[in-house]
Amino acid sequence: MKLSKYIFKTKKINIDSIYQIGSYELRLPHNHPLPGFQKNHRLYDRFLPILVKYLNPEGIIVDVGANIGDTTIAILQNCKNSIFAIEPSAIFFPYLEKNVNKLPLSEKKRISCFKKFIGTGNIKGEFSHGNGTARIKEKINSSSINFTSLAEIVNNQSSIELIKVDTDGYDYDVLISSEEILKQSEPIIFWENQMFEDFQAKGFAELYDRLWDIGYKYIFIFDNFGNLLLELSDFETLKKINSYVSTMDMGDSTRTFFYTDILATTEKNFSKTQLAITNFKKDWINKTSKNSKN
């Protein structure tokens, strides 16, 4: 199923909604923002289903912060890879499981679901929900959250092709905890570059330095609506964009976008990412909404 042929439809069933992504229907909470967001923002979540077409089909895809399974099921229809879908929320994980279990057996057996927090274990706080997502609110006096590492979940770490992370401000901690995997297999990584506090900005700055040292020197920057801001950029430029977003967060400037999504790769997978970017621009960015299919 080509992404350009995706049909997104929503209907209410009791307190839940049914939302169609490609050939499959997903159950989601009735107030989940995904349907409205994808309706209003044409490029949102369109890139990864293109990227996975160019991955080694024998490799593993890891989806950290899988929520209800929307990204997992979108990319599933564009690749043959095994997918590890990881979601710690007691609210969203049951939806993830239900949506995966509804898939045909041939598709379902490619997905492994885990209800786990991924991270270093250095964060203390409380887990809260709102607006279709969940995030950790750090509190020094709170007990530590029980974190695990990707290495404890994925046995064949050298086969990881792609790590996608969406954990609302803690993506840096997920990736720092996975540093040995990044060194060993150099997967493509795609993360939500969102920060709310100074300690998160410092955490991302540390992550950038570590990634650069490993060899992640090819950086592509998207806005949170899915549009491509910069190709072949660098972490110093990303830090400047972070500062720009921070001025809007403080209410000191007119809002243009809310955060960035970052695609990073080493030389190992550069040609794959460049090809995916080229086709994303051709199939989505350079087409008007009038000529694009939902």
Where do the structural domains in the chain lie, given as residue ranges?
3-285
Yes or no: say if 170 and 135 are a contact pair by the CB < 8 Å rule: yes
Please report how many Cα atoms fall inside a 13 Å half-sphere around the Cα of residue 13, on the Cβ side.
9
Give pLDDT tens digits for 74-127.
999 999 999 999 999 999 999 999 999 999 999 999 999 999 999 998 876 665
**pLDDT tens readout for residues 250-263:** 987 899 999 999 99
Measured in whole angstroms, the distance separating CA 142 from the mean position of its chain's CA atoms is 27
DSSP state of 196: -
Distance, in Å, from the CA atom of 168 to the CA atom of 245, rounded to the nearest integer, reads 15
Answer yes or no: are the C-beta atoms of 189 and 182 closer than 8 Å: yes
Please give the CATH number for the structural domain made up of 3-285: 3.40.50.150
Cβ distance 50 to 71 under 8 Å? no
Q: What is the pLDDT of residues 273-286, one digit of tens each?
A: 999 999 999 999 99
Mapping DSSP to helix (H, G, I), strand (E, B) and coil, where does residue 21 land? strand
> What's the average model confidence in pLDDT over 141-154?
80
Asked if pLDDT for residue 64 goes beyond 80, the answer is yes
pLDDT of 68 over the 50 cut: yes
Q: Could you give the count of Cα atoms lying within 13 Å of 97 in the half-sphere of its Cβ?
A: 10
What counts of helices (H) and strands (E) characterise the chain? 11, 15
Q: What is the CA radius of gyration of the chain?
A: 18
Could you give the CA distance from residue 163 to residue 118 in angstroms, rounded to a whole number?
12
